[in-house]
Amino acid sequence: MCRSIKTLRPPATPAPTEDDVRAAALQYVRKISGFRAPAAHNKAVFDAAVDEVAEATARLLGGLEVRGSGRVRSAPASGS
């Protein structure tokens, strides 16, 4: 789907940063909305979607376990 989104799951090296998570969320929202940059009247909803996807991604990464090694790391720091 979004070829420019890199894999962030464990054991990604180096561990993904908050900026990596946000960049992936932005690419995802751009792809599904069809907008590279939203018009002014869509900016608030676009930005809110990026925030929500980034938060969900951080929760996902924080909860993933690599088989045989338990939890690898905590979620990236939240920007909220």
Per-residue confidence band for 1, with pLDDT thresholds at 50, 70 and 90:
very low
CA triplet 41, 42, 45: central angle to 5 degrees? 130
More confident residue, 62 or 69: 62
Which pLDDT tens digit goes with each residue over 21-64? 999 999 999 999 999 999 999 999 999 999 999 999 999 988 88
Alpha-carbon span 56 to 44, nearest angstrom: 18
Beta-carbon-side half-sphere exposure of residue 75 (alpha carbons within 13 Å): 15
Report the pLDDT value the prediction gives residue 60, as an integer from 0 to 100.
93
Q: What does the alpha-carbon distance between residue 24 and residue 30 come to, in Å, rounded to a whole number?
A: 10
pTM over 0.95? The answer is no
